[in-house]
Structures are given as structure tokens and as C-alpha cells.
Amino acid sequence: MDLMDAIKERRSVRAYQDRDVAADKLERVLEAARLAPSASNRQMWKFVVVRDPDRRRLLAEAANGQSFVAQAPVVIAGVALRTGHVMSCEVPSYAVDLSIAMEHIALAAAAEGLGTCWIGAFSQPKAREILGVPDHYKIVALMPLGYPADSPRPKVRKPLDDIVCYEGFSE
């Protein structure tokens, strides 16, 4: 699948088939995260891959009861290892770095025929406890991964003219 097709196919999946993800597909998805750019190319992250059904169920509870998180055969947690660094543009680098890497995961998954959903609604303390992540690190996102069980709805997106400015900002 070419890149634009993967971008067009990617969507938030909230229903998953009861079907395992092959190790080679998972490895290619994780390789996409490894290749993602990061501040100073430091790759200050870890990706926790969760396949255990009980642990996925606990993560679903920590994710405000979003049961589809446990339905996916895999959940990937993106963990920032350096949370104090702020780039000169006044933005914390960990949030940008992990966002790029997690989107690489989402696009690689789409190219593999898999679905994902970015989960930012979760209890940080509960997720840390479930995954054994020390307090000085931050879980940026949880991402269920598996074969979609539902049919995609058409994406609704604003037209380019509403979101793009040239040569300077305008409202």
C-alpha cells in the first residue's frame, strides 16, 4: 500500500475481530515506530506491547472503561523516558516525539490491513501501575491494534482552504 493510501485508510477502530496479529506484521509496525524522528534523534521512548488478555482488560478499565481496548489482540503503550526537555519553541519534546512515533504505528498498521485507535483518555497512575512504568516516565498514548470488525464510515475533514494559510497566519 502506498503512503497516501495508508493515510486515507487509517481511521480510529473501536471494534476488533477475535484474530491474533502475526508476529511479522507486529514487528513491521514496531519497526515503523523505531524509524520515527525524535528530538536530537535521541529516541527517548519505550513501546510496551501488551498481548495478555487480563492486562488488556485492566488497561481498558484504566482507559475510562473503553472496552474495545481489551477487545484488540494487542495494545501498544508509548512511554516517554525524558519528560523534562522543552524545545526552544517552548513545546515539550516528549509529546511531539511520541506523537510522531505513534502515528507511524497507526500508518504502518493501516498498510498491514490492521486498525488502531489513539487512546489519550486514560488514568496515568493506573496505566503506569498495570504496565510497571516508573513515576518519572509518562505514558503518552495507548494504542489498541488488530483487525477491524466494523466497516469504516466516510471521514469528514475540513477543506484545505479552512485549515491552510500561506505566508502568514490568518483567521
Question: What pLDDT is recorded for position 153?
Answer: 78
Looking at the chain, list the stretches that DSSP marks H as alpha helix, in order from N- to C-terminal side. 3-9, 23-34, 53-62, 68-71, 93-111, 124-131, 160-163
* Closest to 135 measured CA to CA, from 95, 85, 80, 77: 80
The neighbouring-strand residues paired with 45 are 80
Q: Quick one: cell of 68?
A: 474495545
What single string gives the DSSP state of each residue in 105-143? HHHHHHHTT-EE--B--S-HHHHHHHHT--TTSEEEEEE
State how far the Cα of 107 lies from the Cα of 153, in Å rounded to an integer: 18
Q: What is the pLDDT along the chain (171 residues), one digit of tens a residue?
A: 889 988 988 999 999 999 999 999 999 999 999 999 999 999 999 999 999 999 999 999 999 999 999 999 999 999 999 999 999 999 999 999 999 999 999 999 999 999 999 999 999 999 999 999 999 999 999 999 999 998 877 788 999 999 999 999 999
Strands 115-116 and 45-50: unpaired
The neighbouring-strand residues paired with 46 are 79
Cα–Cα distances (Å) from 56 to 28, 48, 113, in that order, read: 21, 12, 21
**Complete domains list, the chain, with CATH:** 3-163 (3.40.109.10)
Strands 45-50 and 138-146: unpaired
Question: What pLDDT is recorded for position 1?
Answer: 80
Question: What pLDDT is recorded for position 120?
Answer: 97
Question: What pLDDT is recorded for position 152?
Answer: 75
Residues 74, 13: contact at Cβ < 8 Å?
Answer: no
Question: What pLDDT is recorded for position 151?
Answer: 82
